[in-house]
Amino acid sequence: MTQNTISSLTKEQILDIYNQPLIDLLFEASKVHRLHHDPKKVQVSTLLSIKTGGCPEDCGYCPQAARYHTDIEKNDLMSCSQVKAQALRAKASGSSRLCLGAAWRNVKDDADFEQVLEMVKTVNSTGLEVCCTLGMLTESQAKRLADAGLYAYNHNLDSGEEYYKEIISTRGYEDRLKTIENVRTAGVTVCSGGIIGMGESAEDRCSMLATYAAMETPPESIPINALVAVEGTPLEEQQPVTIWEMLRMIATTRLVLPTSVIRLSAGRTGMTEEGQAMCYMAGAGSIFAGDKLLTTPNPDVNKDMELFKILGITPSAPYEKGEQPVVKDEPVILNTHPEEKVKWSRPGHKIERNEAKRIRKNNP
């Protein structure tokens, strides 16, 4: 299968792939995985929350949204030296990429962004691949991150366009697509995926995959997260997805987007080792390792490495799939892009579930 034939798939055609007997879906996905990827290599990233909590957005799944009452430790932006120390730890533990996450709606042309650019340069100098996930981004901000040595930018569509409106009201699907386009234009690789288990239908999951498949260049990396239902968020009562749903989603993603690397992301603490092994067989080619994601727990890295050994998998080295970006020196001038006065949208549609949660919290 080529990327061209794949990109003409409609949501309905993807749904047919998704709904086929699981035994066939897994077999087909495993075959396609081996055509495009080495099944014995898995890329390992470490996540680092460089600015935690206090986010103004209303993403219904997120423990870092200021408006929900979750039990997380909030932190201001980390220093460069703290990030360097964590990068060296991640490298020593076998990760090939460090992903820096900030609880921001969007990047602003301010001193914090200058500090993040320094962090990117510092992590690049350790030889690790650098990824950031900082919210919405303009083209010039993406370019500055590229010049600082950024290898990947994570910005998720999270779900299909229709269901997205049930989960987030403070920013639009169009804004997400625009950010992804800005990252692509800057020459940074795109990491973009979604979450299952938020109450969405199979159609919603397939609608998200159809959006990715229709892109001229689909994301190099597609994280598939199982919702971590955090107490205090509007989605706290969601039942965990079963391993069978996770496998169906990974295998369908594998068949629809054969060249992308699928990241088995949040939700691994609720999976057995056998279940995770099946995810690798179905097409997952990367994970987040380390005992913490951004704010929630993740399996022990030693356990992951034991499973790799059992399966005959080795973690990939940095830059096996692309060149290390060369850091370009640039003068540091704040607010240099007045022509780029971007107005990100605030759609503000009503989400009953978020409203109900807020009312309950205010009147216990």
Contact 307, 287 (CB under 8 A): no
Q: Binds 158, which of ligand SAM, ligand DTB, ligand SF4, none (CB < 5 to 8 A, cut-off by type)? A: ligand SAM
What is the contact surface with ligand SAM in residues (CB under 6 A)? 61-62, 64, 101, 103-104, 133, 135, 155-156, 158, 195, 225, 227-228, 230, 266, 294
Separation of alpha carbons 58 and 61, rounded Å: 9
Residue bearing tokens 């699907």: 173
- Phi, psi of 19, rounded to the nearest 5 degrees: -90, 0
Annotated active-site residue 97? The verdict is no
Q: Which is nearer to ligand SF4, 61 or 308 (CB)?
A: 61
In angstroms, what is the minimal distance from the CB of 66 to ligand SF4?
A: 8
Positions 115 through 154 that interact with ligand DTB (CB under 6 A): 133, 154
| CA atoms 119, 226, 93, 183: torsion sign | negative
Contact 95, 128 (CB under 8 A): yes
- Phi, psi of 276, rounded to the nearest 5 degrees: -65, -40
x/- string (CB under 6 A) for ligand DTB, residues 70-109? -----------------------------x-x--------
Q: Which of 9, 43, 47, 57 binds ligand SF4 (CB under 6 A)?
A: 57
Positions 119 through 158 that interact with ligand SF4 (CB under 6 A): 135
Q: At what angle do helices 273-282 and 22-36 cross, to 10 degrees?
A: 60
Separation of alpha carbons 357 and 66, rounded Å: 14
Q: Which residues of 183-219 are buried (b: 16+ CB within 10 A; e: fewer)?
A: bbebebbbbbbbbbbbbbebbbbbbbbbbbbebeebb
Annotated active-site residue 279? The verdict is no
Q: Which of 29, 42, 62, 196 binds ligand SF4 (CB under 6 A)?
A: 62
Annotated active-site residue 132? The verdict is no
Nearest Cα neighbor of 175 from 106, 102, 101 is 106
Contact 137, 182 (CB under 8 A): yes
Q: Which is nearer to ligand SF4, 26 or 294 (CB)?
A: 294
User: Active-site residues: which are they?
Assistant: 55, 59, 62, 99, 131, 191, 263
- Which residues sit at the interface with ligand SF4, rule CB under 6 A? 55, 57, 59, 62, 64-65, 103, 105, 135
Residues in touch with ligand DTB (CB under 6 A) = 47, 63, 99, 101, 133, 154, 156, 193, 223, 225, 228, 265-266, 293-296
